[in-house]
Structure 1
Amino acid sequence: MEELLREILETLKSERPKKITFSIQDAALYMGIGHEKVRELVDKKNTDFPYFKIGTRTAIDKRALDRWLEKITEEHRTI
């Protein structure tokens, strides 16, 4: 019975929708950098960092972030 419950829980976890937007903290964790650096990228004037606002909350689209990371990697950019 315990094994069956464990299997059901695993199935439910895997059926949850995948996260497509990140918070500042999520993006920092995803990129392996500090949240202060992500905040700096967002706050930078004329930034090309992919973010948008939902009210006062900053959100980062995962697909756009992946494309941005590819771009800065190809450019050998220092952030």
Structure 2
Amino acid sequence: MKTKILEATKALSNIELKQIITEAITEAIQEKEEKATLTIDECVKYSGIGRDKILELAHGNNNFPAFKIGRKFLINKQLLDRWLESISLEKKII
């Protein structure tokens, strides 16, 4: 009886270990695949700020984390998060 219980415990531990490893690998892959930049439309959806305002900021606000590749604006997602936090803490009107 003890042997069966030990075997069942080991099997359960192996199943749990496999699940933990699978979840960790999946999370690592998702983090790697996450984009570092956003388009204007993605930025609008992500931030909740209107398209016209995002374009205005991209064109003229030196603190806004946008850059151009050709005619296309891209926004650095990590810097956007910091920018949003900064304007929120400072209670800035944009």
If the TM-score is normalised by the length of the shorter chain, which range does it land in? 0.7 to 0.9
Instruction: Calculate percent identity across the aligned residue pairs.
Output: 44
Alpha-carbon RMSD:
1.9
Name the residue aligned to 1:34.
50
Consecutive unaligned residues of structure 1, counting only runs of 5 or more, are: 1-14
Write out aligned runs for 1:1-79 (5 A): 15=29, 17-44=33-60, 46-79=61-94
Which structure is higher in helix share?
2
Which protein shows a greater Rg? 2
Relative to the length of structure 2, the TM-score reads 0.62
Distance 2:50 2:84 in 1: 16
Consecutive unaligned residues of structure 2, counting only runs of 5 or more, are: 1-28
Task: Determine which structure has greater relative contact order: mean sequence separation of CA pairs < 8 Å that are 6+ residues apart, divided by chain length.
Answer: 1
Which portions of structure 1, spanning 4 or more consecutive aligned residues, are displaced by more than 2 angstroms?
none
